[in-house]
Amino acid sequence: MKILIDECLPAGPKGTLTALGHACQTVRKAGFGSKKNGELLTLAEGQWDVLLTNDRNLKYRQNMTGRSVSILHSPRENESYEGFVASDVSLFRGPSFY
């Protein structure tokens, strides 16, 4: 799975996700730094499967109908990325996942 890591997250999850076989890049490294959410989702279309973010309100501000990129929320403070990756990312399905 190709995962784009939002700039509001640390780059740390990239190593964990890559070790599990996912292609990952941060928003900044992908050349999308400082883009607003709608523009970022449009730029990610066709290049990335998932936008990993901690912005839990994004689903209320963006219309995901017809988009091929999905939104996946990062783990909360009391969750580890390893457990999150093992459960949420590996079970990911469909055009939008919240």
**What tens digit of pLDDT does each residue of 26-75 get?**
999 999 999 998 999 999 999 999 899 888 888 788 888 888 888 888 76
The count of domains in the chain is 1
Note the pTM of the prediction, 2 decimals: 0.78
Does the pLDDT of residue 85 top 80, yes or no? no
Which residue would you say has higher pLDDT here, 88 or 3?
A: 3
Give the separation between CA 20 and CA 56, rounded to whole angstroms.
Answer: 24
Do the domain assignments include residue 95? no
Average pLDDT over residues 92-98: 45
Do the domain assignments include residue 26? yes
Does the pLDDT of residue 21 top 60, yes or no? yes
Q: What tokens were used for 45?
A: 């279309």
Structural domain boundaries, residue 53: 2-89
Q: Tell me which H or E stretch contains 3.
A: strand 2-5
Do the domain assignments include residue 64? yes
Do the domain assignments include residue 80? yes
Do the domain assignments include residue 6? yes
Give the separation between CA 37 and CA 93, rounded to whole angstroms.
Answer: 21
Do the domain assignments include residue 96? no
Give the separation between CA 53 and CA 65, rounded to whole angstroms.
Answer: 19
